[in-house]
Structure 1
Amino acid sequence: MDTTHPSPTAAGSGASATQAFLARQEGGAGEVSRERVATVVQAVLDGVHEAIRTHEVTYREFTAAKQWLIEVGESGEWPLLLDVFVEHEVEEVAARKQHGTKGSILGPYYLPGAPKLPSVTTLPMREDEPGTRFVFAGQVRDTTGRPVPGAELDIWHADHAGYYSGFAPHIPEGNLRGVVVADGQGRFEISTVQPAPYQIPTDGPTGKLIEAAGWHPWRPAHLHLIVRAPGCRPITTQLYFAGGDWLDSDVAQATKPELVLDPQPVSDGCVRAEYDFVLEPA
């Protein structure tokens, strides 16, 4: 079988991420007061000005930065750039007032509208989907410990080579994506394959920045989830794998020790991990 596939480009991934983001912003982001805009924007500008003064930024460096920002916009990479380098701090601020399961970043590769699946299910995948078979099971409860019947787990992840459906030309639409509906006791069991670590697209301006700074572009293997139920605050999170590459040096700085799975072998070629989610009242 031919295993050579065209790689997703930064421009292609950026355009898809931008379109997906804009599609989710129905009606805009809501009103923000002038005072709030002035306060936050002025703080950002103050930080930029201080960096220029402290590091004596030259006109040549300033011009290079302007050119790079133009390239980010033209390539559609703003979602990628902001999700990788900024979102983790926004999530940390939000977490200060939240209870229940730890959250993490949404990232640029979420797509709404995945099919609903029963509590015991297999994610949509190719007939010959490569990778280690993986069973992910657990229960959704509230902060009092009671099961949350019918809770939904919107789950998506990369394949064994680190590619996401909707963002790579050779992956079928909807591959390894689904909304799993927990049973009457909030329980679920999802069969899929273990995702691989992946590097964010590096052939665009975000990649140029990473290379110029001498950073690495890798994210550790992870599952993405949005767990939700009526009357509860939805949780957006990511679950990682013990011992995985880049777990301690995630380019997006989104890992947390509470979000690490430790899959164990259950049969030839299959591993299993369990994780329970706790939702707080909305």
Structure 2
Amino acid sequence: MRDITADNITEAVQQAWGNAPHPRLHHLLQRLTHHVHAFVREVGLTHEEWLATIDFLWRAGQISDDKRNEFALLSDVMGVTSLVDLLNATPGATIGSVLGPFYSDDSPTVPFGADLVKDNEGTTVLVTGVVRDTVGKPISGAVVDMWQTDAKGEYATQDAAQDDDNLRCKQECDAEGRYAFTTVEPAPYTIPMDGPVGAIVAAAGRSPWRPSHFHFIVRAERHKPIVTEIFFTHDKFVDNDAVFGVREPLVRKLDAMRASDAGPPGLERRPDKRLDFDFTLVPLIRS
């Protein structure tokens, strides 16, 4: 088409995507074009604003590396990550939450009752529970993958002073589907504010804080894995999470350990508090 105008350009771009071989790809590109063009028209985007947007995206690419994805952070603060999680929730399973930018798949495997506290400062917490299927049957051999910040609000992947494996682990559940380890209570923290996404958040006057939480991925053979987080009732940021990850079923109270509470057998350290949380996984449908 040689006579492109403001009235026909959207249709022309949609036609350009018309040969996309996969129906889903064709649909996504068509609808993306429609909504992006509609946004530009609705706000009357200026040249200066368009150039600022291009520069923002360029800077997001420049600051991203194998340990940091600024585009994922952008998705988080726009609520897109959580919206995708919520729209794709598996009925009957523990509700999911955001993966975040600090996950690494090479966490060390630790035994039942392991002590992750080591020389970390802070309140010690027993984290324990059972992984079950949707009919309540414990899943022996399920793997609980956990990572968290330290008591200063920093992940091992952020802080050069921490060992790479600090406060993260994988643990195989026992014959009764139980997992248990001791760790330190994580602290709230701000999203990375030194990049273009942080600059936008600051300019908009938004809170950059995330409430304290544990991250989990729970997997088991022939079951759909879940990615989620556990938050705490006492955290002052639990009602104002910068990335919209809090779900009511994931907010729990940290209970003080009673003198009569020995915890599960094999525990390596006596903790100050405990968190009990059971996970539910949905079996995969066999074809």
Pair 1:213-2:215 in alignment: no
> 1:210 is paired with a residue of what secondary structure?
helix
The one-character-per-residue Cα deviations of 1:157-177 (angstroms, maximum 9, x if unpaired) are 111111111222222111001
Q: How does 1:39-78 map to 2 (within 5 A)?
A: 39-76=27-64, 77-78=70-71
Q: How far does residue 99 in structure 1 lie from its aligned partner after superposition? A: 2.4
Q: Structure 1: which 4+ aligned runs deviate by more than 3 Å?
A: none
In 2, are the aligned partners of 1:198 and 1:218 still within 8 Å (CA)?
yes
Once the two structures are overlaid, the 10-residue window that deviates more, 47-56 or 222-231, is 47-56
Q: How far does residue 260 in structure 1 lie from its aligned partner after superposition? A: 0.9
Matched AA of 1:250: D
Unaligned runs of 5+ in 1: 1-31
In 2, are the aligned partners of 1:119 and 1:183 still within 8 Å (CA)?
yes
In 2, are the aligned partners of 1:83 and 1:108 still within 8 Å (CA)?
no
Structure 1 vs Structure 2: percent identity of aligned residues? 35
In 1, are the aligned partners of 2:149 and 2:167 still within 8 Å (CA)?
yes
Q: How does 1:89-108 map to 2 (within 5 A)?
A: 89-95=83-89, 97-108=90-101
What is the distance in 1 between the residues matched to 2:256 and 2:139? Answer: 29
Give TM-score, length-normalised by structure 1.
0.83
> 2:192 is paired with a residue of what secondary structure?
coil
Pair 1:88-2:82 in alignment: yes
Give TM-score, length-normalised by structure 2.
0.81
Pair 1:258-2:260 in alignment: no
The one-character-per-residue Cα deviations of 1:83-116 (angstroms, maximum 9, x if unpaired) are 4432111111211x44221111111111012111
Pair 1:113-2:106 in alignment: yes
Q: How far does residue 253 in structure 1 lie from its aligned partner after superposition? A: 0.7
The one-character-per-residue Cα deviations of 1:31-73 (angstroms, maximum 9, x if unpaired) are x963222322332332222222222222211111111111011
In 2, are the aligned partners of 1:223 and 1:240 still within 8 Å (CA)?
yes
In 1, are the aligned partners of 2:60 and 2:197 still within 8 Å (CA)?
yes
**Partner residue of 1:138 out of 120, 129, 137:** 129
What is the distance in 2 between the residues matched to 1:161 and 1:172? Answer: 15
Relative distance call for 1:158 and 1:74 in structure 2 (3 A) is same
Once the two structures are overlaid, the 10-residue window that deviates more, 244-253 or 40-49, is 40-49
Q: How far does residue 184 in structure 1 lie from its aligned partner after superposition? A: 0.6
> 2:283 is paired with a residue of what secondary structure?
coil
Number of residue equivalences: 248
What is the distance in 1 between the residues matched to 2:49 and 2:202? Answer: 16
**Partner residue of 2:278 out of 258, 276, 279:** 276
Q: How does 1:15-30 map to 2 (within 5 A)?
A: none
Once the two structures are overlaid, the 10-residue window that deviates more, 209-218 or 48-57, is 48-57
Once the two structures are overlaid, the 10-residue window that deviates more, 113-122 or 37-46, is 37-46
Matched AA of 2:226: I
Unaligned runs of 5+ in 2: 1-19, 65-69, 260-270
What is the distance in 2 between the residues matched to 1:45 and 1:171? Answer: 45
> 2:139 is paired with a residue of what secondary structure?
coil
In 2, are the aligned partners of 1:163 and 1:171 still within 8 Å (CA)?
no
What is the distance in 2 between the residues matched to 1:214 and 1:107? Answer: 22
**Partner residue of 1:236 out of 224, 227, 237:** 227
Once the two structures are overlaid, the 10-residue window that deviates more, 41-50 or 150-159, is 41-50
Structure of higher CA gyration radius: 2
**RMSD of aligned residue pairs (Cα, Å):** 1.8
